Structures are given as structure tokens and as C-alpha cells.
Amino acid sequence: MKKIISVVLLLVLFASALITAFKVKPAMGWASVKQEIFETVDFWDIWSLRLSEKASCFEVGTPSAVSFVGAAEAMKLLLTFGIENVERRVLGLTNYLIERVKALGLRLQTPEEPQNRSGIVNFKIDKPKEIVERLRKNGIVVSARANGIRVSPHFYNIKAEIDTFIDEIRKTICSLCSLQS
């Protein structure tokens, strides 16, 4: 529970820093106005609404309770699995992906040295946007970045999904080559 509270406090501090740094302006919504307006006949007079002088002036509406529940459950899952285990799993999957990409003869744009890696793998490929769109139609979500394809496996992915991705990349490359002939 301490970790969750710490994360929430960090998020609050981060939001405060963003508001200060970017001079975020209050937004008009039911939660950002002085609450007295709801007790008057002028409630629907949108021209006389007054912003709250409290932090609530940045709240535009009802917070999404479902998002908070989902975020809390996601944090519990991550903390139960263990951050170190998540890192080890992600790096193992990216290593597997890198080996499969290299086996296709594609050029990595991601550092190969383990100490310089993250959970992102990017490789150079012709027509990355077109390929990403084809993959999306087959239920594979990656993105076109830096004249290549960016893949971000996470701890919940399995090697079979990487194999499917590689098979689809191979098929797509072959179909693009046959179209050019």
C-alpha cells in the first residue's frame, strides 16, 4: 500500500510541476466552477459561471472511476509479479525479438548491447507505415517510427506472439516484393 500511495503522491507532484511549467489554464466544466452556482437560479446561465479559486478549477468533469480501479489493479499486478521480474521478462522478450528480426536479415535501429537496451525494438524496413497498417488489420499493434517499425513487447506477451509477428512481417515483405515485380 505504501508503494501505491508513493506513486499517487509522485503523480500529484508531477501534475503540479506540469501546471507550473506550462502555465496550464483552468478549463470550464461542472467541477471547475464555484459550487455556489448550483444553488442559484442562474445555474444554467453559462455566461455568469465563475471558476473556483481552488485546485478544482482544473477539473473539467467527473473523474473516471473505472480508470482508477483499472490503474489500481494494474499496479497490484505489477507489484505482485515484481518490478525486477517485469524487467527481466521484457528484456528476455526483446532479446528473442531481436534474434528473430536479425534472422530475417533486417537492420536493427535498436542498440544490440544488453546494457543499452530498453523494452523497445526498432528495425529499419521499407514502407513502414504501409506494413504497420497491414499488421493492424491482422490484429498486431506496432508503430511506424524512425523509418522503421517499433515493437514494444511487455511482460504479458508470449514468444508465440513474437513468432506470429515475425511470420506476418515475412509474409508482408514477400507480398510487397511480389507486387513490385
Question: What are the structural domains of the chain?
Answer: 2-81 (no CATH), 83-180 (3.90.1150.10)
Q: Which residues contact 166 (CB under 8 A, 6 or more apart)?
A: 97, 100, 101, 104
Q: How confident is the model at residue 44 (pLDDT cuts 50, 70, 90)?
A: low
Mean pLDDT of all residues belonging to the chain: 83
25 vs 19, which has greater pLDDT? 25
Comparing CA positions, the residue from 74, 111, 90 lying closest to residue 162 is 90
pLDDT over threshold 60, residue 153 = yes
pLDDT over threshold 80, residue 39 = no
Q: How confident is the model at residue 61 (pLDDT cuts 50, 70, 90)?
A: confident
CA pair distance 84, 77, nearest whole angstrom = 13
pLDDT over threshold 70, residue 3 = no
What pLDDT is recorded for position 53?
74
> Considering the chain, what percentage of its residues have pLDDT values greater than 90?
52
Q: How confident is the model at residue 17 (pLDDT cuts 50, 70, 90)?
A: low
What pLDDT is recorded for position 18?
62
Comparing CA positions, the residue from 94, 16, 85 lying closest to residue 55 is 16
pLDDT over threshold 80, residue 93 = yes
Average pLDDT, stretch 9-31? 64
Position of cell 489493479? Answer: 73
Torsion of CA 100, 102, 104, 108, to 10 degrees: 110
Average pLDDT, stretch 70-78? 91
The H-or-E segment that residue 85 falls in is: helix 83-103
